[in-house]
Structure formats: C-alpha cells, structure tokens
Structure 1
Amino acid sequence: MQPRNPDDLEALRAASDILGIDALLSDDERAVRDRVRAFVDQSIRPGIADWFDRAVFPAELVPELGELGVLGMTLDGYGCPGRSAVEYGLAALELEAGDSGIRTFVSVHGSLAMGSIQGWGTEEQKQEWLPRMSRGEVIGCFGLTEPSAGSDPASMKSFARREGDDWILTGSKRWIGLASIAQIAVVWAQTDEGVRGFIVPTDAPGFEVSVLEPKGSMRASVQCELHFDDVRLPADALLPGARGLSGPFAALNEARYGIIWGAMGAARDSCEAALAHALRRIQFGRPLAGFQLTQQKLVDMVLELQKGSLLAVHMGRMKDAGTLTPAQISLGKLNNVREAIAIAREARTILGGDGVLLENSPIRHAANLESVRTYEGTDEVHTLILGQHLTGMSAFR
C-alpha cells in the first residue's frame, strides 16, 4: 500500500471521513459548505496567522460575510438568508476551520444580536436593523456578561430605570465581543419589571467601550468591557417581547448550537495539519506517519472528530425538526469543545517544535478553543444543566 499524498487535501479529508458523514448531507447542504469553504480558503487562511499575531480583527471581511449569506443565516425575512440549521452549522464548521474568531463574529452578530432583535423586537426595530445587519452594513454586539456576573446572569447589576418615557441605563458589561466595532449593542439589564433587553447605539452619550487586551486566545477577534453612565434611551429602544432571562438564554442557545459545529471545524483543521505533516516528515528513515505511536494519535483524533461531527449533524436535523432541547445543546457544546481542544493539542505534538509556529494552525486552534470552552457556558455550567436533567435537582445554588 502506498503512503497517502500529503498535498492531496481532498483525499486526506475523504480518508478521514470513515463513517461517510458527507453522504448524510443533501446537495444543497454540500453547496453551502463548499461555498463557505472556498471563502475561508481564499479570504481567511492567507491572512489569519498575521491577524492572530498582531491581534487584529479583519473588519474588511464583514461586508463579504454578508454577501456570503452567513449573517443572521437562519433568520427569515428582512433580507436575511433563511437557511436551515444544518446549513448554518456547516458554515460555522468551515468558518472555524479558518479561525474561531471569525466564526465568533458571525455568532455574536447573527445569532445573539440579530437573533434577539428578530425574536423579541417590534416590527419597526426589525425593519430598521435586520436588513442592514444581514448585509454587514451595521454590526451588532450582545451585552449580558458582567464583571461579577458571568455564569450567574441573574446577579447582573446593570439597571435601567424609567424617567418619563425614556430609560436611563447604568452599569457595566465584560467580555462583550465586537463592541468596539459595533454600531448597536443589545444590552440586558435589570429593571423594576425584571430583566429587559434594549437596543443601544454605541455612540450614545455615556456609552464607553474599552478593549480587553493583550490576550493569548481569540487574538483575531475583539472582546471589550462596556460602561453605561446614565445612558438615555428612548422608549422604542426596549425589546418588548422579552421579559426575564428567557430572552437572552434563547439567544445563547442559538450561539451554543453554532459552537457544536464550529468546534469540529477547528478540530478537523488540526487533524488535517497533523496528518499532512506526519506524511511529509521523515524521521529515522521513514515518514512519521508510519510509526505506531503516531498512527495511534491520528486514529484517536479522527475517532473523536467523527463522533463529534455525527453528533453535530444529528443535532442539526433535530433543530430543523423543532425538537432540539437545551439539555441536548449543552451535551453537544460540552462534548465537542472538550474533544476539539484535546484534538488540537494532540495535533500540535505531531508537528513537534514546528507546532508552536503560527504558520501551523493547531497551536492557534488550541489557544482559541480555551475561550470557546469558557464562553456561552463553561464546562461546569453545562455539566450542571445535564446533571439537573438527569436527577431533576438543580445544583447551581
């Protein structure tokens, strides 16, 4: 048997698809995947190592992402693409194969900000914002997490009080993606009526943004801290359809669903880098791929990649059928991110010393996935969600 050609990526990818997951996809789904994959190859891969190294988010790609049809991808109407959950998942996978920061932009802007406006906003709010956001002309961020309220959003301190017909917003938010480049923020705050959501222009007087840096993870992305010093908002800034935490939690579940797929993109890219290197690298007179220990690493990585990818497809089908539950989303997020980190780390070992160079993706994916593991619910939070599902008892307090 002849060794595989390390330069034939499609053949390596086909060999890794041992379960034949590709055959589970429709022609339309594969077309979406291939279009996003081509975009990643042409517009993200050539620059991502430099962007990561310089901690730069490539904002020039935002209109291109809009043209690609991945902003608010599953939303219907208002100029949004209206694609299926599986198609969105495949797009998330391919984008994160490029970099977690790019997929995170699509998730924060499309699932969290646009999804909140679509789900809880007035017709006027939807007409005003969603068409421009779907084209990438207006960028939105999502303000829920606070310096002292991360995994426990019910403890948020931000408060909006009524003053006549207006609202006065005070408080702060932390780890808010995109805020320094966004034109609007969907902000959740306590009120006398419970937690409510607001559309807040980022240029409003009293709205301050500071970028959180330097970072060792998600460097080709933007995370910020927000401060609200008596920010005055008109009555029509309120998202009237959301009361309590059910609104932001619904948006978070949309973002978590995308992570189930996206993590497998980072894992797949890491596997491919490791396999190609092992086939090229000659040690002790033969390719590294010919040694038993290397083959065990490759097999273990592909086992988890295949299982995680199959899980993502299954959950996508359930989401399209309207049967996917929050506990199932927690299971997918917990498993796939955890396994993706293990895959990226193991892939780095196969690349040896060269594995720490940014020209090779596994070290970047491993660093990024540490952030993905934390945001949209830590391992601990998703473990307790699943524990509550199994036992019927909440262990959060």
Structure 2
Amino acid sequence: MLLSVVVLIVLLGSLAYFRAPVLLWSVAVAAWLGALPVLGAASGVAPWVWGVFVVVAAVLNITPLRRVVFTGPVFAIFKKITPAMSQTEQEAINAGTVWWDRDLFSGKPDWRRLESFPAPKLSAEEQAFIDGPTETLCGMIDDWSITHEQMDLPPQVWDFIKQSGFLGMIIQKKYGGLEFSNYGHAKVVTKIATRSGSAAVSVMVPNSLGPGELLQHYGTEAQKDYYLPRLARGEDIPCFALTSPYAGSDAGSIPDFGVVCRGDYTDPRTGEHHQNVLGIRVTWEKRWITLAPVATVLGLAFKLFDPDGLLGDKQDIGITCALVPTAHAGVEIGRRHFPGGAVFMNGPTWGKDVFIPMDWVIGGQEYVGQGWRMLVECLSVGRCISLPAMSVASGKLASFVTGAFARIRDQFGLPVGKFEGVDEALARVGGHTYQMESAQDLALTGLDLGEKPSVLSAVLKYHNTERMRKVVNDAMDIHGGKTVVLGPRNYLGRAYQAIPIAITVEGANILTRSMIIYGQGAIRCHPFVLREMRAAMDNNLAEFDDAFTGHIGFIGSNKVRAFWMGLTCAALVRSPRGGATGRYYKQITRFSSAFALLSDMAMFSLGGSLKFREKLSARLGDMLSGLYIATAALKRFERDGAHQDDLPLVCWAVESALHDVQQAMHGFLNNLPNRALAWALRRLIFPWGLTLTPPSDKLGTQVARTLMTPGAARERLTRGIFVSKDERDAVGVMPIALQAILDTEPLEQKLRKLAREGKFKTLTARERLAEALQQQLLTQAEFDAVTRARKLKRDVIMVDDFDMKLEKHDEGLLERLIF
C-alpha cells in the first residue's frame, strides 16, 4: 500500500509538474487503479471507487456535462463577484501588448524564445548619426552655462537640433523624418543625456508621447501632410498638454473640457476666416508641460461634451485630443516653471472658451472620445524609451567617472576605491547600471519587433529611474566634496538635482509601483485571468469554461512546481546554459512558478479588493520586475559575447535582482491577510527558508575593480556616452588622467621608497620630484610623466570657485596664485 501511495504521488506530481492535459490525468489514474492488484496493494478495486472515478472523469472530460455540473454554477458566482471595470481601466488594460512578461507570469519561461530574440543593433544610418550630428551636438553643449547662466539652450544649439533632424527621429522618411528604430532613438537620447539633461529632455519630448507620434498613428492624411514635415524640420515645436493642477496621475479625471458647437475662427496658419463651422469651444488649464513656453503647436487633451446632440445621441463623448496652433486666438503660453537640475522649457498653458474647428481633432471627427485609448497606447512605447534612456545615461556616466575617480583619488596612501566602504558603493553603481541598460535593451528589442509592451514599459519607468537615483547617490558619496560644489567641473551635481523630475513625470513612481505594474500585469500577462473577465463581461460560458478549467490546472501545476523546485533548490531544473550563469536560469524558473502561484493565491484570497491592497500589489510587481531584470541581464551577457571579464557584472546584476524577488515574496507572505494560507504558501515555496543572499563582498569587489580598471569590460559598460577629447573638460580628462596615474604608479612607489630611505633633503612632493631628477634617480621622461600625471590628478580632484557674487569663474586662478 505504501508503494502504491508513493507511485500515485510521483505520478500525480509528474503530471502536474509537466502540466499534462486532463485526459492524460484520467488515463494515468485509471491505469494506477488497474495496477493496484499488480502492486499487491489490493486484490481488486471496489466498484464504488471505480464509480466515483468514472463520474469525476466524465465531468472533467465531457465538456457539456462539465459546464452544467461545475463551471456553469461557478460562472454565475464569478459574474456577481467580479468588480466592474471603468472605461478608462478597460482602455488601459487593452493598451499595448504582452511579450516576455507573459512568459514570466506563466511560471515556466520559454528560454528558447528568449534566445530567439535578435540582439538590438544600430543601422549604419543610426550609427552615423550618433557618431556625427549627435557627437557634434554634445560638443556644442556647455551644461553649466545652460543651467546656471542662460537658463536655456543657446540659440545655436536650438538651431542645430532643428536643422539636423533631432526633433524628427520617430517621423517617417516620407514626411522628412529620420524614421529611426526605437533602439536607435534611445541611444541618441542616452548619449545626449550624458552631456546635458536639459538638451536630452528638449530632444526626447517631441519624439516621445506627443503630436508627432499621435499624428503618425491616428492623424488624418491632411494633418500628417501638413504637420509631420514641419515637425521633422523643426519649423514647428510641439508640446502635449495632458496634466492639470487637479489631475496628475489620475489623468482620466482631467477637468479641462470642450463643448461641441458651431462658431467662427481665423486660422493662424493661413489667415483665412471661417464662419459657422462645426467645432469645439475648449477651456483648459495645464501645468508641467515640457516645451509649452516655446511651442508652436499644442497637443491638447480634454473631456468633450455634446449637449445639443450635434454629433449624435451621446452627450458625454469622452477624452479627446486636438492639435491647436499656439498662435490661435485665446491660446496662452509663455510662462515657465523652474524644474531643478535640468533647466529646460517647461511651463503652463491655458485658455478659456477657445473655439477650434472639428478638423483640428487628431484623427478628425471620427476620433472624438478616443483620446484616452490613443494616449495609453502611445505611452506604452514612450515609457520604454525616454526616461529609461536618461537613467541609463546617468548610470553610464556615473560608472565612467566614479570608477576613474575612485582609482585616481587617494587617501591614506591608497586609491579610495580600494577601501571596502567605497568598494561596496562602487559595486552598486556598476551593477545597477548593468541592470538598467539590460532591462531597456530587451524592451527595445520587443518594440522593434512590433510589440507595445505596456507592462514592461511601467517596469522600466519605475525601476530604471529608481536605480538612477541609487546610482547617482552612491556616485555622489564616493566623490565627496568634488560633486557637492556646483560649477563647470561638477559632472554629477545637476543630475542629482534633476532626479525628482524623472521620478515624477510619466506617472509618479509610487503610483507606478503600487498600482500599475502588477495591476495591469496581473490581468494582461496572466494566461487565464483576462479571458475569464472578458467571458464574464460577454456572458460567454464556453470561453469561461475553457479558461477556468485551464486556470485550475495552472494553479495545481505551480503548487507542485514551486514546492519541488524549492525542495531541490532548483538543482534538477533544466537550464539553457551551463557555466557560471546556468544556475541563474534555474532559479528564475523556480521563482517564476512561485510568483505565478502567489499571484493566483492573492487574487483567490482577496478577490477584487486586491487592487486596493497597494502594498501587496507593489510587492507582486517587484517580483515580476526582478524576474524581468534578471532575464534581461542574462540576455545582455550572451548578446555581448559572454565575455569572462563581464561575469562579475552579470552575476551581481542577477543575484541582486533574484534576492529582490525573494525579499518581495517574504514581505508579501508576512502581510497576506489570510494567515493560514500565508503559512502554507511559505512552506511550499521556501521549504528550507530564505536561501538566496545578496551579491557577496567578493563579487562586489570584482565589480568595483572592473570600473576602476581600463579594459573591455569597462568600455562595454560605458559605451555610448559622450567623452570630450579636450582634457580641459571635466569628463574628458578622466580617461587620460586614469591612464597617466596607472602608468606612473611604479614611479610614485619608487619616490616613496626613496623618501623612506632618506634620499631626499627637501620636504614637499614637488621639491622631491625635482631633486630626484637632479640626482638622476629619474630620467627626464619619467620626470615629465610624473609631473603631467600629478597635474591631471589635480584637474580631476579640484572643485570650482567663483567671485563673491558667484558669477565670475576662473578655473586656473588658484593654481597661478599658489604655484
């Protein structure tokens, strides 16, 4: 009998683990019952046992019977308890597509699918643009002058941006745009952002959510033919006005409104006057609108009403988007907000009872009331590109300069990067930078394959900007006073000040984490939930039956998979790769099953109230995000050629992400209201407790050394940034100084040894260097090399000083006065 029970457990466990169909379960159980006499467990199976089995098998396998006996009653209850979705919620959920995130939600990622995704690659045209106009633009930019003196991009920089096509990167070539890939677009923004956040924002906004993208997707042919060439050439400067003082993240509640009516207007583009035309009288007050102070065309979102029934029977038409020339009578622009750090054109716009013709609605009359759908569909693309690219830029720049600074700057006779406290922070700088670019590059691959991954775009927006905050904070700590004092030499201060901008715009991070990532992901990415909800809304029992029975099997499978992989620490799971990274694939598979199980148990135990349990929802979102970041890092490692010297970076990135997943699960189980369920789930998922640890100190040291040492791994991590060839530039001097310090280190050690031996009569380092030359302890070439290295080191360490009004800056004054 014991053997029979063991056989049954192994049989059922195997069926569940490999997600066998119901028919195979029925055949397997029937075979086991038939084999009981052979196993010696019984002389024969009682007829009533066979009877029960036949009834259960019939209900499970005969679809009409199952619907009558089982899923039909469940469906009736499900329709009653499923919370209704508002129109804006439905449109948000329907926006975009699901992609690799669906695999992570499945509990069984398809690694062959991940490997099949092509490596993102710049076209020859895109590479030439980055090496040419983008390099030139970066060389023209003086970020200190922009943010401290001019409070805007200089006119010549604006002209170059317009004339070179930077504002038309996403516009199709037939309209005069560059028609870059999403990957190419992101890499242009990244490079500019390593030079100036102000310039990067000014370039990225017209190429992100705004008139250009909305027109290409939804505009009428007349609108496209007129506006797109002008936008591509920079003749028109666009902005998009969505956010109002009373509706930030809750954009669906915007108070700005328009009323359908007939009226007169003069078209500012042609000067023609039109009378008694069908149009809209709009009133709005918008805030925080980038480029609004200098825009020539205003994208405007408002709620549209039709009280007189001029368009039909519906009075509340819904959110509508229109394009309004800012020269149009009644449009008010020209005042500015003052965002910290990155000083770019941002301000309010307002208007009262401004009449616009119906053909100014984006897409024309056919698209009235479709604005929210248009916005959320386009936002899923923009969120993958703009802010994540700026976050990657901050990470790359911080890695480049902080690694060099930590090796150049010394205290107590050692480079500061070799102190363990600094080493720990430097490892986070490099590891988080690796995570950020990996996560974005994988999402950009999806975009260029035609996907619109709305859930992953929210993951990127939140986690890249949060990691940017951590990276810049750590970099600032390592630099100390170097980056506290603002001035032309400070390459991190403005980035530090500008962090709240990225954290806040395109959806505040608190909201993105606690509501959007999982709230949207649970419905869109789950294999069955959206199907069940749509079946309930459509009253489709057949669809519900198919989805619900699949869902039950899915839950049972994940219970077995999570327990078995937890019990074996995923040692027996198949991995697509061997070597140092093979074990990570196994752990991701394990935690994917555990995440899928926790997700279902959260929905099962909390029902519709889960969307109000934002702390639990946030932790579930953290699990999905950590799994995505880990897989993206592994994909990037293989894409780069699986170089051995990149192993510290990929190992740190994956181990950190997986530890985050484990801690999110731990926090979720600690706070799940159903304590009995939480206890059972903990024993299933963590039978040995919390076994994953953060990256080790040894691994962190290897990452820190990678950042401090010139080589291929450091170059791959920081590729794509702008580095001036002028050693007078604060960033440009870094690689030159680093190499000079490394080249002369043996000579400095020799000088210190000579000093300990009493070979010098003089006191200062400068005098002893001259004495060593005089005594022929150094050659002239060695003397020149040490002198130059020390000068470069001073250039790296020095901070700026000004006159008493903080206006006049002379970077060489102190050196001339003292030396």
Both proteins in one fold, TM over 0.5:
yes
Change over 3 Å in CA distance of 1:217–1:251 after alignment to 2: farther
| Alpha-carbon shift at residue 26 of structure 1 (Å) | 4.8
Question: In the aligned structure 2, how far is the partner of 1:129 from the partner of 1:147?
Answer: 29
- The aligned residue for residue 53 of structure 1 is 148
Between 1:56-65 and 1:255-264, the stretch displaced more is: 56-65
After superposition, residues 156-195 of structure 1 pair within 5 angstroms as 156-164=254-262, 165-192=278-305, 193-195=317-319
Contact persistence 2:120–2:183 (CA under 8 A): no
Question: In the aligned structure 2, how far is the partner of 1:108 from the partner of 1:390?
Answer: 26
Between 1:291-300 and 1:189-198, the stretch displaced more is: 291-300
Contact persistence 1:100–1:369 (CA under 8 A): no
Question: In the aligned structure 2, how far is the partner of 1:250 from the partner of 1:145?
Answer: 17
Instruction: Indicate the percent of aligned positions where both proteins have the same amino acid.
Output: 23
The code of the aligned residue for 1:294 comes to V
SS of the residue 2:333 aligns to: strand
After superposition, residues 48-87 of structure 1 pair within 5 angstroms as 48-54=143-149, 56-58=151-153, 60=155, 61-76=157-172, 77-87=174-184
Between 1:289-298 and 1:225-234, the stretch displaced more is: 289-298
After superposition, residues 21-32 of structure 1 pair within 5 angstroms as 25-26=121-122, 28=124, 30-32=127-129
The code of the aligned residue for 1:181 comes to V
Change over 3 Å in CA distance of 1:24–1:118 after alignment to 2: closer
Contact persistence 1:260–1:336 (CA under 8 A): yes
| Alpha-carbon shift at residue 187 of structure 1 (Å) | 0.3
Question: In the aligned structure 2, how far is the partner of 1:316 from the partner of 1:340?
Answer: 19
Question: In the aligned structure 2, how far is the partner of 1:267 from the partner of 1:54?
Answer: 26
The code of the aligned residue for 1:167 comes to I
Unaligned runs of 5+ in 2: 1-118, 263-277, 306-316, 524-607, 615-819
- By relative contact order (CA 8 Å, sep 6+), the higher-ranking structure is 1
- Structure number having the greater strand percentage: 1
1:206 aligns with 2:319: no
- The aligned residue for residue 779 of structure 2 is none
Question: In the aligned structure 1, how far is the partner of 2:232 from the partner of 2:120?
Answer: 29
Question: In the aligned structure 1, how far is the partner of 2:380 from the partner of 2:423?
Answer: 37
Q: Could you list the per-position Cα deviations for residues 285-309 of structure 1 after superposition, in whole angstroms to 9, with x for gaps in the alignment?
A: 2332332322222221111101111
1:388 aligns with 2:519: yes
- The aligned residue for residue 270 of structure 1 is 398
After superposition, residues 1-397 of structure 1 pair within 5 angstroms as 25-26=121-122, 28=124, 30-35=127-132, 38-44=135-141, 47-54=142-149, 56-58=151-153, 60=155, 61-76=157-172, 77-111=174-208, 112-164=210-262, 165-192=278-305, 193-209=317-333, 211-219=335-343, 221-240=344-363, 241=367, 243-258=370-385, 259-356=387-484, 357-358=486-487, 359-383=489-513, 384-392=515-523, 395=611
Between 1:310-319 and 1:242-251, the stretch displaced more is: 242-251
The code of the aligned residue for 2:180 comes to R
Contact persistence 2:165–2:234 (CA under 8 A): no
Question: In the aligned structure 2, how far is the partner of 1:142 from the partner of 1:209?
Answer: 12
CA RMSD of aligned residues (A): 2.2
The code of the aligned residue for 1:114 comes to G
Unaligned runs of 5+ in 1: 1-22
The code of the aligned residue for 1:183 comes to T
| Alpha-carbon shift at residue 37 of structure 1 (Å) | 5.0
How does the TM-score come out when normalised to structure 2?
0.43
Aligned length: 372
Question: In the aligned structure 1, how far is the partner of 2:200 from the partner of 2:410?
Answer: 35
Contact persistence 2:190–2:393 (CA under 8 A): yes
Question: In the aligned structure 1, how far is the partner of 2:447 from the partner of 2:220?
Answer: 25
Change over 3 Å in CA distance of 1:366–1:239 after alignment to 2: same
Contact persistence 1:211–1:222 (CA under 8 A): no
Change over 3 Å in CA distance of 1:95–1:88 after alignment to 2: same
How does the TM-score come out when normalised to structure 1?
0.87
Between 1:256-265 and 1:169-178, the stretch displaced more is: 256-265
Q: Could you list the per-position Cα deviations for residues 247-276 of structure 1 after superposition, in whole angstroms to 9, with x for gaps in the alignment?
A: 122332332122222210122112222223
Question: In the aligned structure 2, how far is the partner of 1:349 from the partner of 1:40?
Answer: 30
Between 1:339-348 and 1:160-169, the stretch displaced more is: 160-169
Structure having the higher Rg: 2
Question: In the aligned structure 2, how far is the partner of 1:90 from the partner of 1:81?
Answer: 14
Between 1:384-393 and 1:183-192, the stretch displaced more is: 384-393
Q: Could you list the per-position Cα deviations for residues 77-128 of structure 1 after superposition, in whole angstroms to 9, with x for gaps in the alignment?
A: 3111111111111112112212233222223222222112222211111111
SS of the residue 2:466 aligns to: helix
SS of the residue 1:75 aligns to: coil
The code of the aligned residue for 1:105 comes to S
SS of the residue 2:171 aligns to: coil
Question: In the aligned structure 2, how far is the partner of 1:233 from the partner of 1:195?
Answer: 16
The code of the aligned residue for 1:95 comes to I
